[in-house]
């Protein structure tokens, strides 16, 4: 019936944006102050309700297999292949690999940089440009190490602002989440102390310069809608 068709279409749209929101929550809770709240079994995309629906058995075998795939990718030494794979995962957020990848990379960071995550500052960053309302941006720094976190928000209205959507069912919003069309002139203003540093994105693997004190989101979000940009003294880099 027409009603069921419309209901299924709405459910698909909500599920898609829910998955994107889940990715943003991963970046926020694993990079912000305090201890992150992680439920076993939610390392992949999960559309169950909260207690008691999330008390089902966890498929640890599947998670182990997927994690080994991610480790192999991270250690392959091919930066271009890594970015392409991360971008592919980002086009299908309900698949779960993008969430598992982000979770693993940030947990590795927390293990490699405990002082930065435990004692680091928590400073808001100014966002300017046409899509400024769609980004949460903050800086954490401690004893020479620093981390710039950029998180996408309000993805449904971001699609409306960009004025286009994909014709494919499997990836209805991907064209408006990354690149120039999505982010136009939007940029992040960095403190003077960060100018001249190189920041490496733990999610997409890209390195960005900061000579002019700005980060263009069209560049930072070229492959993945979200970023954790790290600069650390020698010997403190995350794996």
Alpha-carbon gap, residue 239 to 107, rounded angstroms = 10
Mean pLDDT of the chain: 84
Confidence of residue 109 (pLDDT cuts 50, 70, 90): very high
Structure tokens at 106: 């940030």
Alpha helices, DSSP H, located in the chain: 2-31, 60-74, 79-91, 97-112, 114-119, 155-162, 180-183, 217-220
Highest mean pLDDT among 97-106, 156-165, 176-185, 229-238: 97-106
Query: In sequence order, which ranges of 120-173 are alpha helices (DSSP H)?
Result: 155-162
> Would you place residue 117 in the very low, low, confident or very high pLDDT band (cuts 50, 70, 90)?
very high
Q: Which residues pair with 209 in a beta bridge?
A: 198
- pLDDT tens per residue across span 201-230: 999 888 998 888 889 999 999 888 899 999
The interaxial angle of helices 2-31 and 155-162, nearest 10 deg, is 110
Give the tens place of pLDDT for each residue, 9-30: 888 888 888 888 989 999 999 9
| Spatial separation of the C-alpha atoms in residues 213 and 111, rounded to whole Å | 29
pLDDT score at 222: 87
Among 79, 87, 177, smallest CA distance to 135 is for 177
The closest of 163, 175, 189 to 222, measured between CA atoms, is 175
Cis upstream peptide for 76 (omega within 30°): no
DSSP structure class, residue 135: E
Question: Cβ distance 222 to 179 under 8 Å?
Answer: yes
pTM exceeding 0.95: no
CA distance 21 to 153: 7
The burial of 134, by beta-carbon neighbours within 10 Å (0-12 exposed, 13-18 middle, 19 or more buried), is given as buried
């Amino acid at each position: 019936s027409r009603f069921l068709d419309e209901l299924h279409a709405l459910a698909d749209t909500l599920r898609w944006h829910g998955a994107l929101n889940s990715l943003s929550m991963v970046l926020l809770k694993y990079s912000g102050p305090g201890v992150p709240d992680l439920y076993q079994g939610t390392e992949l995309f999960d559309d169950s309700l909260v207690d008691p629906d999330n008390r089902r058995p966890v498929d640890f075998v599947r998670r182990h297999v997927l994690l080994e795939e991610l480790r192999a990718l991270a250690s392959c030494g091919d930066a271009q292949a890594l970015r392409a794979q991360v971008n592919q995962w980002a086009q299908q957020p309900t698949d779960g690999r993008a969430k598992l990848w982000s979770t693993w990379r940030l947990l590795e960071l927390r293990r490699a940089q405990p002082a930065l995550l435990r004692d680091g500052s928590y400073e808001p960053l100014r966002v300017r440009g046409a899509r400024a309302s769609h980004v949460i941006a903050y800086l954490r720094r401690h004893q020479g190490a620093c981390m710039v976190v950029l998180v996408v928000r309000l993805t449904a209205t971001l699609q409306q602002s960009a004025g286009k959507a994909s014709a494919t069912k499997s990836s209805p919003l991907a064209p408006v989440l990354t690149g120039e069309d999505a982010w136009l002139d939007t940029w992040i203003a960095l403190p003077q102390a960060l100018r001249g540093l190189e920041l490496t994105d733990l999610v997409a693997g890209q390195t960005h310069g900061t000579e002019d004190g700005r980060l263009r989101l069209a560049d930072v979000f070229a492959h993945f809608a979200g970023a954790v940009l790290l600069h650390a003294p020698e010997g403190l880099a995350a794996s």
